[in-house]
Structures are given as C-alpha cells and as structure tokens.
Amino acid sequence: MNPAYSVIFFTTASGAGYGLLALMGILNAGGYLPVDKWFGLTGFIISLGLITLGLLSSTFHLGHPERAWRALSQWKTSWLSREGIIAVLTYIPSILFAIGWVFFQKTTDTYMVMGLISSIGAAITVYCTSMIYASLKAIPAWTHNLVPPIYLVFSLATGGLILNAMLHVYDAPIKDISIFCLLTLALALVLKLKYWKDIDAAPRKTDLASATGLGDIGTVRVLDKPNTSENYLQQEMGFRVARKHAEKLRRIAITTFFILPTILVSVTFLVPDLALATTLIAVPAASIGIATERWLFFAEAKHVMMSYYEG
C-alpha cells in the first residue's frame, strides 16, 4: 500500500495525542498528576493539538474535505464513520476536563469523570482507527489480530513518553510513569516482532490462482499489465518496498522506537541529572520510530488486488 504521509502523520500524531489524553484522564483519577494550570495547559495543547492536527491531516487528503461531515453518518457499518463520531464526541469531555484543569485547577468530581470519559473515548477512537485497517480483508497483513493492540500500545507508549517528559520538565517526575514507559515500549516491541514474524511467514490465501480462478489449469503468471503507465490502483496499492530495504527500516524502527527510548528512559534511574534531557529526547526518537513503523505498516502490506498486476 502506498504510505501516504498524511495518513502516517494522522495515525501517529493522533495516536500519541489520544495516548496522552487517556493517560491524563486515568492518572488524574488516581491523583498522580499536578493539577497545575500550566501543566494542564501543556498537556491539553499537546494532546488535543496532536489529535486535531492528525484529524485535519486526514481530512486534507480527502477529495472533498468540505463534505467531511458526511463521514459521520454510516457508523452502522463503517469503522471510519465510527472513528469520526467518537473522535468528535471525545472533544466534549476532554474540553470540559481541560477547562476544569486549566481555568479552575479542579480535576475532581465531575471533572474527574470527564477525564475518565475522555480516556475511554480516546481508547475507543484509537481502536476504531486501527479497525479501519484491520477490517480490510483485502489487505491480509492488516487483518492480523495484533493490529488493534499494536495501535493501542503504541498510542500509550508515545503518549506515555510525552507525559514522562512533561513531568520531568515540571520537575515532578513519577518513577512509576517511567517504568510504565519502559513496559509499554517493551510490550510494543514484543507485539511488533510477533506481527512481523507472522506476516513474513504467512501463506497467501489469495494469490493469482484464486484471483483468476485459473489455478485449476496450471501455474499462473503475469504476461502483461492492462496499461503501460501506472494507473490509480497501482499507485495507491502497488507500492513495493524491497526486502532488504524493509529489513533495514525495521531495524531503524526498533532502534528508534524501542532501543533508544528505553535507554534514554532508563537513564532517568541511573543518572537523574540527565533525566530532563533524556526524557525530552526520547519523544522525537520514539516519534521517528513510530513513523517508521507506521510507514512499514503500509509499505509492507500487500493488497490482494496487486496479484492481478504482479502475480
């Protein structure tokens, strides 16, 4: 599949935003977080900002962004529609949550509930986002049952790293948050490695034989394509990344979303003086990592339709 940058930005940025929002809601309910107006403002600007930028990015890659509101209507059948609705709805509790935190420095009672509802909304939104892809049978690599968990875990991991950095900036580090970061990063790695192992090994249920129905006669190969310049389908779904290149990118992804942030976050325990710097650096490092991972998620996914074009 063609890894469109707007879509990669959408899922990674909004994923991080929702992760941060969810963590703010849950951890606030546990009383862990400073109910400081600047802290809150930072958190909401980052989370809601990333969410909004991500959503806007995804609408800009539409043919008719001015009709985007229509996308909220088919929630009965469409994951994209469901995602849209929950995303829009989640703004309500999260803005109320933000108002309480920033203007009134109050995050208890109703505001706490708003926070928790925001967390639930965030989780569901990220789940719906992942299901947009995971529900597409025509792209077998995406139907793997680890795809929604991976989206959720990455969301929490990136959100967690941002929160961790914020806490260090506000000079209110929480050890458990750092550990939480390490755990989610490790979980993300485990899930991702299993996913890659599975998709590398998976036999193709749909191949040129079932695509054409000619398998009964013999082995089918492509002779010619229907057109001599690439058409929309080939551009959108025919992206190929060479095996060697993909492996290199996987290593880069692992390095930047797991190894580096793990080291950097671990340093907060070992060398507290560097903690501020390292937790801050961990964020862009992980962002590169997850962007790479998401790019590969698209680039390595073969659409069954491409069997017709490439065998």
List of residues contacting another protein (CB under 8 A)? 1, 62-65, 67-68, 70-74, 76-81, 84, 132, 135-139, 205-206, 208, 210-214, 216-233, 236-237, 303-306, 308-309
Could you give the CA distance from residue 9 to residue 31 in angstroms, rounded to a whole number?
32
Rank residues 81 and 125 by Cβ distance to another protein and give the closer one: 81
CA atoms of 286 and 142, how far apart (whole Å): 22
Go through 93-122 and write b for each residue having 16 or more CB atoms within 10 A of its CB, e for each that does not.
bbebbbebbbeeeebeeebbebbbbbbbbb
Residue 64 beta carbon to another protein: minimum distance, rounded to whole angstroms: 5
What minimum distance in Å lies between the beta carbon of 125 and another protein? Answer: 14
Q: How far is the CB of 151 from another protein (least distance, A)?
A: 17
Of the pair 105, 206, the CB lying nearest another protein is at 206
What is the nearest approach in angstroms of another protein to the Cβ of residue 221? 5
Quote the least distance from Cβ 118 to another protein, whole Å: 23
Identity of the residue, 69 or 103, whose beta carbon is nearer to another protein in the bound complex? 69
Structure tokens at 246: 């993909």
Q: In this structure, what DSSP letter does residue 161 have?
A: H
Cα–Cα distance, 287 to 161 (Å, whole number): 10
Which residue reads 């930005």 in tokens? 9
Please state at what angle helix 275-299 crosses helix 243-253, rounded to 10 degrees: 150
Q: How far is the CB of 282 from another protein (least distance, A)?
A: 33
Residues 306 and 130: their CA atoms lie apart, in Å, by 22
| Token pair belonging to 146 | 């680890």
Nearer to another protein, 169 or 233 (CB): 233
Q: Whose Cβ is closer to another protein: residue 29's or residue 80's?
A: 80
- CB-nearer residue toward another protein: 139 or 191: 139
Q: How far is the CB of 122 from another protein (least distance, A)?
A: 20
- Asked if 307 and 211 count as a contact pair (C-beta separation under 8 A), the reply is yes
Q: How far is CA 52 from CA 149, 154, 168, 252, in A?
A: 23, 18, 25, 28
Closer to another protein by CB, 28 or 58: give it.
Answer: 58
* Token code pair at residue 232: 């929309």
